[in-house]
Amino acid sequence: MNAFVKSYELSAPSWASYIPSPVFRGILSTKVDSVFINGPSIQGHRPMAKTIVVDTVIYIRSVKYENILVTIYWDESCIWSGYGNSPEECASIKEYYGKNIGLIKREHRNHNDTIFIKDFELIDYHI
């Protein structure tokens, strides 16, 4: 299942007289290996996303978080240019979403690195 924003309005970017396509952004997919567009294509670069894990457990500062969904993000040109062979090789961002919480951790890496580095993680939350 893909989740999309139902509707919104966009103005053309300052550098163009048109709205780049598509005007929607996939937010998340709850199905493993589901690939979705993460934004508009700009000059041959299309941001893509893929759900790689659902219903897993992670620990942040010794707190256990269950029902975690993990997604990766990459530029589609990485694959067709031959720089990487798969979304996993080309991924530059990895995000962790907690059920009924939202985004709880984000990591990034350069394309020539193999290890993701933490950008931020949840410290505490109250509902």
Distance CA 100, CA 97 (A): 9
Mean pLDDT across the chain = 82
Residue among 17, 13, 21 at smallest CA distance from 39: 21
What's the domain range around 58? Answer: 19-121
Specify if 9 maps to a domain.
Answer: no
> 2-4 and 35-37 as β-strands: parallel, antiparallel, unpaired?
unpaired
Half-sphere exposure of 33 (CA within 13 A, CB side): 1
Are the C-beta atoms of 32 and 51 separated by less than 8 Å? yes
Q: Domain for residue 126, yes or no?
A: no
81 belongs to a structural domain: yes
Specify if 14 maps to a domain: no
Q: Taking the complete model, does pTM exceed 0.75, yes or no?
A: yes
Report the C-alpha gap between 82 and 112 in whole angstroms. Answer: 13
Q: What are the tens digits of pLDDT across the range 35-77? A: 988 877 778 788 899 999 999 999 999 999 999 999 999 999 9
Higher pLDDT, 73 or 6: 73
Residue 19 in 3-state DSSP?
A: coil
Can the peptide bond before residue 22 be classed as cis, meaning omega within 30 degrees of 0? yes
Q: What is the pLDDT of residue 13?
A: 53
Report how many domains make up the chain. Answer: 1
CA–CA separation, 96 and 49 (whole Å): 13
Instruction: Summarize pLDDT for 88-97 with one digit per residue, the tens.
Output: 999 999 999 9
The answer to the question of residue 115 being in a domain is: yes
